[in-house]
C-alpha cells in the first residue's frame, strides 16, 4: 500500500488554517476592526471547543516562569539593539504608554488565541519538533502577511513586520516544544507584542 504524502496526512489542520485565515481576511474588509479581532480570537480558540486540547495549559508555574525569564532576556536584547540603532542614526528611544484595555486585548484576544491555534493545535498536528516549529512559523508569518498586509495595511513597514513575525514564532514554538505547555509561549508572545508596540525611535 502506497504511503500517504506529508500534505495528505496533514490536510485537515492545513485546510482549517486556510479557512481561519480567509475568514479573518474577509472580516477585515467587511466589518469594523473590533469585530474582526473578536472573530479572529473565536476562530483560533476553536481547538479548545472541539476538544483538540492536548493539555495545553498544564505545568502552569513552570511555563509562566520560563515565559517571563525568556521574555526578559530576549526582549532586553531586542530593546538594546533598537537603542543602539537609535544612537547610530541619531534617534532617541521612546517608550509609549499603552491603555490598559489595549494591553488586556493583546493578552486575551491576540496572544492567547494565536498560541492556542498555532502552537497548541497546528504544532501538535503538524509535528511538535523542529521541523514542525519551522513549518508553523512559516504559516504564522504567512497568516500575518495575508491578514495585515493584504488585509488593508499595504505599506512596506506593515508588510515587513508581518513577514518578520517568523522569528519570534520560532521562539514561541521552541518554548512550547520544551515546556509542553502554552503558558511560556503565551507570556512571551504577549510581552513581545507589547514591547514591539511600546518602543519606537524618533
What's the whole-number mean pLDDT along residues 10-39?
Answer: 93
Cα separation, 42 vs 111, in Å, equals: 13
pTM for this predicted structure: 0.93
For 19-40, letters b (16+ CB in 10 Å) and e give ebbebbbebbeeeeeeebbebb
What's the whole-number mean pLDDT along residues 172-197?
Answer: 96
In a domain, 129, yes or no: yes
pLDDT value of position 7: 82
The answer, yes or no, to whether residue 153 has pLDDT greater than 80, is: no
The answer, yes or no, to whether residue 106 has pLDDT greater than 90, is: yes
Gap between the terminal Cα atoms of the chain: 63
Domain that holds residue 60: 6-201
In a domain, 54, yes or no: yes
Distances (CA, A) of 195 to 79, 98, 116: 8, 10, 21
| Lowest-pLDDT range of 10-19, 52-61, 73-82 | 52-61
In a domain, 1, yes or no: no
In a domain, 78, yes or no: yes
Domain count of the chain? Answer: 1
Amino acid at each position: 500500500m502506497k504511503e500517504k504524502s506529508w500534505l495528505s496526512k496533514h490536510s485537515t489542520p492545513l485546510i482549517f488554517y486556510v479557512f481561519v485565515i480567509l475568514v479573518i481576511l474577509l472580516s477585515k474588509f467587511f466589518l469594523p476592526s473590533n469585530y474582526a479581532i473578536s472573530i479572529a480570537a473565536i476562530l483560533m480558540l476553536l481547538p479548545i471547543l472541539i476538544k483538540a486540547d492536548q493539555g495545553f495549559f498544564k505545568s502552569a508555574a513552570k511555563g509562566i516562569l520560563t515565559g517571563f525569564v525568556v521574555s526578559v532576556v530576549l526582549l532586553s536584547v531586542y530593546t538594546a539593539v533598537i537603542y543602539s540603532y537609535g544612537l547610530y542614526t541619531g534617534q532617541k528611544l521612546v517608550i509609549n504608554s499603552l491603555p490598559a484595555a489595549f494591553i488586556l486585548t493583546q493578552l486575551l484576544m491576540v496572544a492567547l488565541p494565536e498560541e492556542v491555534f498555532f502552537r497548541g493545535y497546528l504544532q501538535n498536528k503538524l509535528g511538535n519538533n523542529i521541523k514542525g516549529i519551522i513549518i508553523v512559523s512559516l504559516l504564522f508569518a504567512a497568516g500575518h502577511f495575508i491578514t495585515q498586509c493584504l488585509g488593508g495595511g499595504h505599506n512596506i513597514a506593515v508588510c515587513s513586520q508581518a513577514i518578520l513575525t517568523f522569528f519570534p514564532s520560532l521562539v514561541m514554538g521552541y518554548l512550547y516544544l520544551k515546556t509542553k505547555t502554552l503558558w511560556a509561549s503565551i507570556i512571551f508572545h504577549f510581552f513581545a507584542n507589547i514591547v514591539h508596540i511600546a518602543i519606537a525611535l524618533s
